[in-house]
Amino acid sequence: MAINRTSSHGEWSSRTAFILAATGSAVGLGNIWKFPYITGENGGGAFVIIYILCVIFIGIPIMLAEVYLGKRGRLNPIASIKYISDKEKRSKNWRIIGFMGILSGILILSYYAVIAGWTMAYSVRTAFGNLNNIDATGAAAMFESLVSDPERLLAWHTIFIIITAIVVAKGVKSGLESAVVRLMPALLVLLLALVIFSAIEGEFYDGLRFMLYPDFSQITWKSVLIAMGQAFFSLSLGMGALMVYGSYLSSDISIPQTCVIVALLDTTVALLAGLAIFPIVISSGLEMSQGPGLIFQTLTVAFASMPGGQLFGTIFFILLIFAAWTSSISLIEPMIIWLIEKYNVTRIKAATIATSFAWFLGIGTIVSFNIGKDIKIFNMTIFEMLDYLTSNILLPMGGILITIFVGWLISKEHIDSELKIKSKIIKLIWYFSARVIAPIAVIFVMLNALGFNINFFL
Ligand code: TRP
């Protein structure tokens, strides 16, 4: 039977509050900035299909497992896993999942804050009309002038880290719920409006075709790994963020339905972002595979030619800042809770230490777009390396360990009493996905993409 432990950090006021917070964590730059540009780099339709399959067969089962761990452990990720392994008489070394997660969160936040800084810079530029009447060449030059200036990037990065620090210092639940309730629907409406604009003004048919028509000749194992990594990244999986949010969940709530809703919302936002962006990329002659600058250049061209674009664009970028903000909070919350519980420091102190660390690491990403462009590790810039290491290695590895731990090493009746799945069939599907499909798929994709010859084993 589940023991009704509660978190010493309080509880969500309702199931909806949890859904909102988890959606706030999931929906962020990953959906609107990263999904379109990596889809552009990886050939479109086939990549999107693989991404969606990864969300369904790998993402959702792991999400359930992760929320389960938090809901049962009720502590920071390391201590929760240690508590559960004690109870289940398993090795306490499974705590490594928690350590890896805290590290991944900080590494991701370090570059996430830099990109969120670009969003802030763009909202100011749009508000002041700097982008009016700009064309594709102008938009490219404007983007280049921003990222080539390390001081400006550092200033925005610092501001973003400070606003993140302020919220986490106050405690995640106060404020977060109400912010998400108001801002998420607004972001969705604006995104829909953008899709409509793009349908009227852009090459909608070609954009849609690019995004939906599967051309599997474009796909390599590396792109499958990137799609899978994106599923982890976009759903905020593999690092303990949802474990911490799950630990604030009251014990009588059923997990699966909530997780499916979050995954559905997250995927909808990503697909809408793609639908808004690709038609404009094509109609304005921009490059599909240009990388991290894609949405900034595309959207500025769109806002420049749209009636009321200045106002609309400003609001859009501001909402994007908020989306990034609610995500960045969840990236750092595991480390904060860990510092508070383990070292008995105040929340303010924990927030200061954790965000300072992320701020400092962020300098690596800042210089990788300008003065440090030529610093290459495994042929990647510092930003590319951090992104690759976290999304494609650390998060999937965390995910494998989580599903193996939950799927195989925890007694069934405990899982059943926490997950509260009523339907027998769904229960069966979940066990099969968490025990077999998800771990095997992740291991298979990682081995292939990292260059091991799978044929050797077959
Ligand atoms: N999911 C967020 C996005 O799409 C980023 C994010 C927040 C995240 N918390 C996370 C990614 C935890 C991985 C793990 O923008």
Residues 6+ apart with CB under 8 A from 438: 57, 58, 61, 62, 399, 400, 403, 407
Mean pLDDT score, 125-139: 89
Pocket test for ligand 1, best of 33, 58, 102, 108 (most atoms within 8 A of CB): 108
Per the model's pLDDT, the better-predicted residue between 112 and 415 turns out to be 112
More confident residue, 429 or 157: 157
Which ligand 1 atom minimizes the distance to the CA of 29? 15
At 2 the pLDDT is: 46
The pLDDT, as a whole number, for residue 387 is 95
Higher confidence at residue 386 or residue 456?
A: 386
Ligand 1 atom at minimal distance to the Cα of residue 323:
15
* 172 pLDDT more than 70: no
Q: Whose CA is nearest to atom 7 of ligand 1?
A: 327
Enumerate residues lining ligand 1, CB below 6 A: 25-26, 28-31, 108, 233-234, 236, 239, 241, 327, 330-331, 395
Give me ligand 1 centre to Cα 60, in Å: 15
Alpha carbon of 200 to ligand 1 centroid (Å) = 32
Instruction: Please tell me the distance between residue 394's alpha carbon and the centre of ligand 1 in angstroms.
Output: 13
3-state helix/strand/coil string of the chain: CCCCCCCCCCCCCCHHHHHHHHHHHHCCHHHHHHHHHHHHHCCCHHHHHHHHHHHHHHHHHHHHHHHHHHHHHCCCHHHHHHHHHHHCCCCHHHHHHHHHHHHHHHHHHHHHHHHHHHHHHHHHHHHCCCCCCCCHHHHHHHHHHHHCCHHHHHHHHHHHHHHHHHHHHHCCHHHHHHHHHHHHHHHHHHHHHHHHHHHHHCCHHHHHHHHHCCCHHHCCHHHHHHHHHHHHHHCCCCCCHHHHHHHCCCCCCCHHHHHHHHHHHHHHHHHHHHHHHHHHHHHCCCCCCCCCCHHHHHHHHHHHHCCCHHHHHHHHHHHHHHHHHHHHHHHHHHHHHHHHHHHCCCHHHHHHHHHHHHHHHHHHHHHCCCCCCCCCECCECHHHHHHHHHHHHHHHHHHHHHHHHHHHHCCHHHHHHHHCCCCHHHHHHHHHHHHHHHHHHHHHHHHHHCCCCHHHCC
Atom 6 (ligand 1): residue with closest C-alpha? 236
pLDDT band, residue 1 (cuts 50/70/90): very low
Atom of ligand 1 nearest to the CA of 242: 12
- pLDDT tens, position by position, 32-42: 999 999 999 99
Q: Please calculate the CA angle 297-51-208 and round it to the nearest 5 degrees.
A: 50
- Counting from 1 in the atom list of ligand 1, the atom nearest the Cα of 390 is 13
Residue 113: pLDDT band with limits 50, 70, 90? very high
Tens of pLDDT, residues 45-101? 999 999 999 999 999 999 999 999 999 998 899 999 999 999 889 998 999 999 999
For atom 10 of ligand 1, the residue with the nearest CA is 236
Q: Give the Å distance between the CA of 18 and the centre of ligand 1.
A: 16
Pocket test for ligand 1, best of 103, 266, 331 (most atoms within 8 A of CB): 331
Q: Tens digit of pLDDT for each residue in 259-293?
A: 999 999 999 999 999 999 999 999 988 889 999 99
Instruction: Give the Å distance between the CA of 236 and the centre of ligand 1.
Output: 4
Report the nearest-CA residue for atom 2 of ligand 1. Answer: 26
Length of the chain (residues): 458
User: Which pLDDT value is given to residue 82?
Assistant: 93
- Ligand 1 centroid – CA 364 distance (Å): 20
Q: How many CA atoms lie within 13 A of 430 on its CB side?
A: 26
pLDDT for res 305: 85
Nearest CA to ligand 1 atom 8: 236
Mean pLDDT of 343-371: 96
How many angstroms does the Cα of residue 242 sit away from the middle of ligand 1?
10
pTM tops 0.75, yes or no: yes
> What share of the chain in percent tops pLDDT 70?
96
The Cα 234–Cα 175 span in angstroms is: 23
- Please tell me the distance between residue 326's alpha carbon and the centre of ligand 1 in angstroms: 9
State which of 230, 271, 327, 328 you would mutate to test the pocket of ligand 1, scoring each by most atoms of that ligand within 8 A of its C-beta.
327
Question: pLDDT tens across 175-206, in order?
Answer: 666 677 778 888 889 899 999 999 998 899 99
Say whether pLDDT at 237 is over 90: yes
Q: How far is the CA of 22 from the centre of ligand 1 (A)?
A: 10
**Ligand 1 centroid – CA 319 distance (Å):** 16
CA 291 to ligand 1 centroid distance, Å: 19
Q: Is the pLDDT of residue 253 over 50?
A: yes
Closest ligand 1 atom to residue 238 Cα is: 14
pLDDT tens per residue across span 383-421: 999 999 999 999 999 999 999 999 999 988 888 888 878
| Residue-level pLDDT at 174 | 65
